[in-house]
Amino acid sequence: MKELSYIDYLFERENLDDSKLGELIESNNPKVLEYLYGKSLEKKIKYYDKSIYMRGLLEFTNICKLNCKYCGLRWDNKNVDRYRLTEEQILDCCSTGYQLGYRTFVLQGGEDSYYTDDKLVKLITNIKSNYPAAAITLSIGEKAYESYKKYFNAGADRFLLRHETADKDLYNSLHPGSSYENRVRCLKDLKEIGYQIGAGFMTGLPGQTTKHLVKDLRFLKNLDPHMIGIGPFIPHSETPLANFSGGTVELTLKMVALTRLMIPKALLPSTTALGTIDSLGREKAIRAGANVVMPNLSPTNVREKYEIYENKICTGDEAAHCRQCIEKRINSTGSYVDMGRGDYVDWRTNNVY
């Protein structure tokens, strides 16, 4: 079967031509997919053993000035109950997370103009001074080079900024008022400054084709980020894309596995979005080569308000319960939880802390 030989070639060479990548993306043969996921898992184990890293997620503001067509937090959605966590609330969440064993805090929010550089630098500095052993990951959107540099100098270690799609026309059609060129500029700036950077994309976007997905893989191969988030598009009823079909588990798993084989050392999350559309979606992603999960540390009274997509799971679970639940799920896959910082595998050999 030719697809199996493509997978073997990809496993050995960590690259494949576009047409063959397209054939693998479009394959629905159970034997091909089983082999693909198995080889991806084998590659993941080579670099990260059977460990799955746990990150504590803090969704600290759902206020966003942007109007991305797929996102429930878009500015034009007037039915969002907006909130901002205070610095005290954020530090309390970090304290809870640290006691539960987390050594990475992921600060995620909309592009909220209230959080000036000075406010963010103060917040980062306070977290780092209280928890020097912990890594700080930011996921707060597009900023100027100078702003990214300030956060890094204050102690931020990583930055997540999904490119969403590597096709310029598709990107611009989904992000009114934004530009593909600026998104790519931000990713390159972040890498130059010295962050561990995360990119990534959605599967099943309206208008997305196999060629678009191949372009995503090629973009990631060239960028060589340290982290890559891949999740299904889930339509939100208060957005312009409300009536479109969402992405599927199968397509997302294929893209996770192909990404693992092309960028084998990347940290790949098993996303909450997958768990939302399939009760075993996160376990399936781990078996297909993912190695990061991000349970929620946000106060339970705001979790439902951070509604990028609807019907998100685990919004009512206390942090301790969420951590225990995820650990059981990870163990069920034959993997084990690693509560360390979970840096990119080559990071300590290339950088000085």
Instruction: Give the largest Cα separation in the chain, rounded.
Output: 58
Residue 352 has pLDDT above 70, yes or no: no
Residue 350 has pLDDT above 80, yes or no: no
- pLDDT tens, position by position, 53-66: 999 999 999 999 99
pLDDT value of position 30:
98
Residue 349 has pLDDT above 50, yes or no: no
- pLDDT tens, position by position, 248-295: 999 999 999 999 999 999 999 999 999 999 999 999 999 999 999 999
When pLDDT is cut at 50, 70 and 90, the band that residue 318 belongs to is confident
Helix %, strand %, coil % of the chain (to 5): 45, 15, 40
pLDDT value of position 215:
98
Q: Distance between alpha carbon 97 and the CA centroid of its chain, in Å? A: 19
Cβ atoms 160, 138 nearer than 8 A: yes
Q: What is the percent of the chain with per-residue pLDDT over 70, rounded to a whole number?
A: 98
- pLDDT tens, position by position, 149-207: 999 999 999 999 999 999 999 999 999 999 999 999 999 999 999 999 999 999 999 99
Task: List, in order, residues 6 or more apart from 290 with CB less than 8 Å away.
Answer: 44, 52, 256, 260, 268, 269, 270, 282
When pLDDT is cut at 50, 70 and 90, the band that residue 353 belongs to is very low
Cβ atoms 141, 329 nearer than 8 A: no
pLDDT value of position 348:
64
Cβ atoms 288, 278 nearer than 8 A: no
353 half-sphere exposure, CB direction, 13 A CA radius: 13
Q: What is the CATH number of domain 2-339?
A: 3.20.20.70
When pLDDT is cut at 50, 70 and 90, the band that residue 16 belongs to is very high
